[in-house]
Amino acid sequence: MTTNVSLRRLRALCRKETLQILRDPSSHIIAFLLPVVMLFIFGYGINLDSTALQIGLVMEDASPEARHFADNLYGSPYLRVTTGFNRQAMQQAMTSGRIRGYVVVPSDFAEKLERPAETVPLLVVTDGAEPNTANFVENYVRGAWHGWLVQRAAERGEAQPIEIAIESRFWFNTAAKSRNYIIPGSITIIMTVIGTLLTSLVIAREWERGTMEALLASPMTRTELLLSKLLPYYVLGIISLFLCVGVSRFILDVPFRGSLLVLLGVGSLFMGGSLGMGLLFSTLLRNQFNAAQAALNAAFLPSLMLSGSFYEIQSMPGFIRAVTYLIPARYFVTAMQTLFLAGDIWPLILSSGLFLLLSAVFFIGLVALKTRRHLE
Amino acid sequence: MTGPLVTLESVRKIFPDVKQPALEEISAQLWPGRITGLVGPDGAGKTTLIRLMAGLLSPTSGIIRIGGLSPGEDAVKLREFIGYMPQKFGLYEDLSVLENLELHADLRGVVGDARAATFARLLTFTDLGPFTARHAGKLSGGMKQKLGLACALLGQPRLLLLDEPGVGVDPISRRELWRMVQELIDQGIAVVWSTAYLDEAELCQEVLLMNEGRLLFYGKPQDLTNRICDRSLQIRHVEGDRRQLLTRVLRRPEIMDGVIQGHNLRLVLRAGCAPPNLLELDAGAGAEWVSVAPRFEDAFIEALGGGPGGDSVLAQKIRPAVGAYQTVVEAVDLTKKFGDFTATDHVNFAVKRGEIFGLLGPNGAGKSTTFRMMCGLLVPTSGTARVMGIDLKTSASDARQQIGYMAQKFSLYGSLSVRQNLIFFSGVYGLKGARQRTVVDEMIDAFRLQPYLDAAPDSLPLGFKQRLALACAVMHQPPILFLDEPTSGVDPVTRREFWTHINGVVGNGVTVMVTTHFMDEAEYCDRIALVYRGGVIAAGTPDQLKAQVSTPQNPDPSMEDAFITLVQGQAHDN
């Protein structure tokens, strides 16, 4: 077992690896283009807010009261209202997807409103094919309705029908913009993919091109080989992490409240695990294509589905929630969301950091174990 | 010189999951100041033996000692004095010549003044001085080989292991490398040179002749060749078809092996046999036996158990090719440019029905480009390629139906079984139903593929892979066969068998166009075009080309001599 490291040899190997990175357009694409493109897709393409939902309004009652209520719907920033006069037309518009739901103001609207004992029948039809959007439509209409009742009572000098006034505040994401929550998660997914993809190719490439044999026959040690495969890609990965954070902060306008030093620390630990996982596939499979496939599947899918980046872990069934504890990306998502939205919250940073450290040690240790100094 | 540098004692190597041992009881001694040849076909165990010496594998049993050390236990010390050039040279193609050298110099601790001196010496030695900034991937095969050697020589090794340094390199570069290694020997280095080229083996001081993991011979190549002495003969002044005569001669029990050499036949007798009567063989009135110098290859064939005989079952299955055209393949001013690089420059030739036509040339000379234009895989920039009178530019698919194409590396489908490959390729060429089944069965029969029908092509021995590839190319009974380096890496006995089939189908009127880098195979051709830097620099029968370079010093040049002299003459003119 040879574990000694000669700085001269390590420097030479790192230099070789760096030159290869600089001359290989595919690693530039993976490290710099891919993250930016993915960030824009995640940042602009995925939006869990539903501002400006298209809905329809059927006015069967032409009374001033009904029109007054309609004005209130028009005034809502969350709704784009198209008015029509029969239900069939609206039903068709909803079936063809032009509107997400519609509101019917029945012909006896004003009449029943005048009689306090009566319930005012307001029909809200929503598209149940997309329950999330359907909920939004219902809630926004309900909100507009209550707003209108309060306003109407005040205008008429009547007692307000609502005893409790709710004032919502979204902490950490005051504008309640889902982008602010998606971006830290996206960066995690991107960094997982980049980290594993970059290194999944590099040892397999040496085997495929027959250069590994020449290296193995030289006095190079196993530790030198591993370090030379980790260090240059670590630097590349960190550059691309800071690129991602920069783009998020300055182009996508997501606030970043933590410190860059903590970002570097947490990012380094996470890169350790990702790069280690990539190297593991590369070492075991010795074939660039297979290693890249394995890296994508093992890195991308869990970090997308099970890390809490988009899908809340709290709402997963118990045993899947248990599995998420094994996904390093989960801890990085926590750390990134904390750094972006809340700042350096040490208890969270430290506990995620600890798990990231464990995963880095696990994967790099496994690679070291599987790296042989000979061909068998 | 105190003693052997390397001692091998009963070395065996068995890989898990492989029944047959990769190496079986190999014992030998390698001395400093000598080139020891590791000779044998693919799968002989040459690479395994070299990797064992380099400490990359450990033996299943037996002892290896290098300078008194064991590659297993003293690996760290041994790496300091072993230089190893793996197959494909182990270079980083995206690094420059100098960067490759610097990497290996750093790894081997060649620093400071010693480094500058070593680089200067190696760059002069390899003539790579003017190319230090060029990326290794942009070097020619010969230059890559020299750079690989230079990298292996950093740190002044006492043992130099070269794994098939001649593969993919033209004869001129091979000779140059040989001269360079000769210089190293004079400095007292021990060199191990593995090769499938028997002419290279003949030049080594000692050889280990291997086949399927066994050591068939260990000693001076001359000692092996001497076993054949007085048994190598030529039949000269043959009248009539020399290919049919070869078939008749090989049927005689006295004959161990035979090949075509231009207009003559070259034959090896079995030990203790007299040459058969030429009149009985119907060789023509003027034909005569002439004694020639035995070659290492003769002895090798005998060590492998003799030649394969001269009858081709395939020839009986191929229907005679007849037709109106006398000139069946024709290139007129064929030119192909890739950007500003001219790969093929106004190439002209015409191949007649029933001829074997060979394209020879160094790597990168334009052979494959020409070939691909002739079968419609590349569109020429200018000029015309015609097959059976059909212009490939206008009706490539009609022309392709007339061609059987066997590509380099055999291009079989690795994920299909042998039988499925046969069915697929016959289907591609439009065979179906009962006819398809008959043809596939005939091929299985002719090439003795029964034991391998359900196996994947990659698991076949190389010889069987080659047979399968040939079967796939001839099933639709094409009147023309295009063979692109069909015998690379195949052992001499299998190559003989392959040429027996080719001779057989040519006897039926099939026309064959072939590229090869085995110079002795060029002798099978009726005519040869020598391609160099995109143009044809010489054309004619093998005997004509050899006669062109005949000198008083070398009155009977080999095909390789002719090749080298003609190419170098051309290089000087430029």
Q: Which residue of A has its CA nearest to B104?
A: A218
The sign of the torsion formed by the CA atoms of A60, A64, A66, A69 equals positive
Q: What tokens were used for B42? A: 């693919």
* Residue type at position A235: V
pLDDT at B482 over 50: yes
Query: Does any CB of chain A come closer than 8 Å to the CB of residue B80?
Result: yes
Task: Give the whole-angstrom CA distance, residue B366 versus residue B234.
Answer: 34
Q: How many Å apart are CA A177 and CA A50, to the nearest integer?
A: 10
Which of B57, B87, B103 is facing A12, going by the closest CB pair?
A: B103
In a domain, residue A2? The reply is: no
Bin B33: left if φ > 0, else alpha if -120 < ψ < 50, else beta: left
Could you tell me if A169 lies within 8 Å of chain B, comparing CB atoms? Answer: no
Chain B interface test: which of A4, A16, A220 (most B C-beta within 10 Å): A16
> Which tokens go with B255?
């004959």
CB pairs under 8 A between A and B: 81
What's the pLDDT tens digit per position in A137-160? 888 888 888 888 888 888 887 766
Architecture of domain B227-311: 2-Layer Sandwich (3.30)
Burial code of B247-275, b = ≥16 C-beta within 10 A, e = fewer?
A: bbbbebeebbbbbbbbbbbbbbbeeeeeb
Q: Could you read off the pLDDT of A165-206 as tens digits, one per residue?
A: 556 666 666 666 778 888 999 999 999 988 998 899 888 999
pLDDT of residue A167: 63
Query: A288 CA to chain B: closest CA distance, Å?
Result: 16
pLDDT exceeds 50 at position B512: yes
A303 and A189 within one domain: yes
pLDDT band at A49 (very low <50, low <70, confident <90, very high): low
The residue among A209, A6, A283 whose CA lies nearest residue B100 is A209
> Given a cut of 60, is residue B475 above it in pLDDT?
yes
Q: Which of B99, B109, B151 sits opposite A19 (nearest CB)?
A: B99
Q: Is A98 on the interface with B (CB under 8 A)?
A: no
A13: which chain B residues are within 8 Å (Cβ-Cβ)? Answer: 103, 107
**Mean pLDDT over each residue of chain B, to the nearest integer:** 87
Q: Are residues A213 and A286 in the same domain?
A: yes
Last residue of a domain, one of A155, A185, A209: A155
A340 CB-near residues (< 8 Å, 6+ apart):
A180, A183, A184, A248, A254, A255, A256, A257, A258
Claim to verify: residue A60 and residue A33 sit in the same structural domain? no
For residues B535-564, give the mean pLDDT.
88
Q: Residue A216's closest chain B neighbor by CA?
A: B56
> Is residue A273 in some structural domain?
yes
CATH of the domain at A139: 3.40.1710.10
CATH of B6-219, one of 3.40.228.10, 3.40.50.300, 3.30.460.10, 3.20.20.10: 3.40.50.300
Q: Mean of the per-residue pLDDT values for chain A?
A: 86
Query: How far apart (Å, rounded) are the C-alpha atoms in residues A193 and A315?
Result: 25
- Is residue A167 situated within a structural domain? no
Question: Which chain B residues have a beta carbon less than 8 Å from that of A209?
Answer: 88, 92-93
Among B200, B172, B199, B197, which residue's Cα sits nearest to residue B567?
A: B172
Phi, psi at residue B545, to the nearest 5°?
A: -65, -40
Tell whether B82 lies on the interface with A, counting CB pairs under 8 A: yes
Q: Do B56 and A375 touch (CB under 8 A)?
A: yes
Q: What is the pLDDT of residues A79-114, one digit of tens each?
A: 888 888 788 888 888 888 888 889 998 888 888 888
Q: Does a structural domain hold residue A161?
A: no
Is the same domain home to A221 and A260? yes
A contacts of B109 (beta carbons < 8 Å): 8, 219
Number of folded domains in chain A? 2
SS3 content of chain B, % helix, strand, coil (to 5): 40, 25, 40
Q: A278-300, pLDDT tens digit by residue? A: 999 999 998 899 999 999 898 88
Q: A20 touching B, CB under 8 A? A: yes
Instruction: Output the pLDDT for position A2.
Output: 44
Q: Is B194's pLDDT higher than 50?
A: yes
State yes or no: pLDDT of B357 exceeds 80: yes
Higher pLDDT pick, B398 / B257: B257
Residues with Cβ within 8 Å of A186's Cβ and at least 6 positions away in sequence, in order, are: A38, A39, A42, A43, A309
- Put simply, the answer to whether A211 touches B55 (Cβ < 8 Å) is no
Q: Say what the pLDDT of residue B41 is.
A: 78
pLDDT of res. A27: 86
Q: Do residues B448 and B371 lie in contact, with contact meaning Cβ atoms separated by under 8 Å?
A: no
User: Could you tell me if A15 lies within 8 Å of chain B, comparing CB atoms?
Assistant: yes
pLDDT at A65: 85
In a shared domain, residues A73 and A34: no
One domain for residues A308 and A248? yes
Q: In Å, how far is A13's CA from the nearest CA of chain B?
A: 7
Contact (CB<8Å) A210/B86: yes
Query: B87 contacts in A (CB within 8 Å)?
Result: 210
In this structure, the answer to whether residues A263 and A357 fall within a common structural domain is: yes
Mean pLDDT score, B476-503: 86
Query: Across the interface, do B51 and A375 touch by the CB < 8 Å criterion?
Result: yes
A18-A19-A25 Cα angle (round to 5):
95
A242 pLDDT higher than 90: yes
A24 and A88 fall within a common domain: no
Mean pLDDT score, A350-376? 91
Interface touch A219/B76, C-beta < 8 Å = yes
**CATH 3.30.70 domain locations along chain B:** 227-311
Length of chain A, in residues:
376
A219 with A97, same domain: the answer is no
The reply to whether A162 falls in a domain is no
Q: Would residue A171 count as lying in a domain?
A: no
Same domain, yes or no, for A151 and A252?
no
| B134 at A interface, C-beta within 8 A | no
CB contact under 8 A, A213 and B86: yes
Looking at residue A210, its pLDDT comes to 87
**pLDDT value for A176:** 61
Cβ-Cβ contacts under 8 Å, A19 against chain B: 94-95, 99
User: Within chain B, which residue ranges are assigned CATH 3.40.50.300?
Assistant: 6-219
Identify the H or E element spanning A53.
Answer: strand A53-59
Asked, for residue A258, whether it belongs to a domain, the answer is yes
* CB-closest option in A8, A24, A219 to B79: A219
Chain A residues touching residue B79 (CB < 8 angstroms): 217-219
Name the residue of chain A whose CA is nearest to B85's CA.
A214
Considering the domain architecture, whether residues A189 and A150 belong to the same structural domain is answered as: no
Chain A contact for B107, CB < 8 A?
yes
Query: Structural domain of residue A181, as residue ranges?
Result: 7-46+177-370
For residue B26, what are the CA distances in angstroms to A191, B18, B29, B54?
52, 18, 10, 16
Q: Which residue of B has its CA nearest to A205?
A: B92
Cα dist from A204 to A193, A198, A232, B414, whole Å: 17, 11, 17, 21
Q: Is residue A163 part of a domain?
A: no
What's the confidence (pLDDT) of residue A1? 40
| Least Cα separation, residue A36 to chain B (angstroms) | 27
A222-250 and A260-285 helices cross at what angle (nearest 10)?
130
pLDDT at res. A123: 87
Are A302 and A345 part of one and the same domain? yes
